[in-house]
Amino acid sequence: MHVFTHMSINLCIIIALCISFFVQYGLDIQPCVLCTYQRYGYFFALILAYVSPILCSIVFFVIAGIAGFHVGSILNLWGNVVACDVIINTASSIDVLKTSLMASNITTCATDITSLILASGNVLFATGLGLYSVSGILKKFF
């Protein structure tokens, strides 16, 4: 891949990560599990952009798939599958269990329009980055 392609892909990844951190820390909207998985994908793609452009392209399409699943989960097409990730400890009584469950922080995107907009945008963004990186790979051969 051309150096400009590497730099522009890395710039787009950094922009995506900055947006996600701004939403989390600036707007105080906590990420759900699927948001976090997408973020991990971008970190992974940042490393793979120079190591293996083909794997980087695959990671972008995986991120787009996770984001698409996220949109479906927000729209309740298959239910909010990953919202109930509470770890139940070994409680000695019902009261201790209830207190533990009430104190746990469950983040869900099921009712948040901001999450729907961000996840939908991420489907397009990650797909675009995947196609752009594939085009950079194909330019090398043609």
Structure confidence by residue, pLDDT tens digits, 94-138: 777 667 666 666 566 655 677 788 899 999 999 999 999 998 888
Chain CA centroid to CA 31, Å: 9
Torsion of CA 102, 66, 123, 115, to 10 degrees: 0
Of 46, 10, 16, the residue nearest 31 (C-alpha): 16
49-107 confidence digits (pLDDT tens): 888 888 999 999 999 999 999 898 888 888 656 554 444 555 567 777 667 666 666 56
In the structure encoding, which two tokens stand for residue 72, read together? Answer: 């479906």
CB 48 within 8 A of CB 56: yes
Q: Distances in Å between the alpha carbon of 36 and those of 20, 94, 119, 133?
A: 9, 32, 12, 23
Of 127, 35, 126, 132, the residue nearest 74 (C-alpha): 35
Rounded CA-CA distance 109/129 in Å is 24
pTM recorded for the entire structure: 0.78
Rounded CA-CA distance 21/7 in Å is 21
- Average pLDDT over the chain reads 81
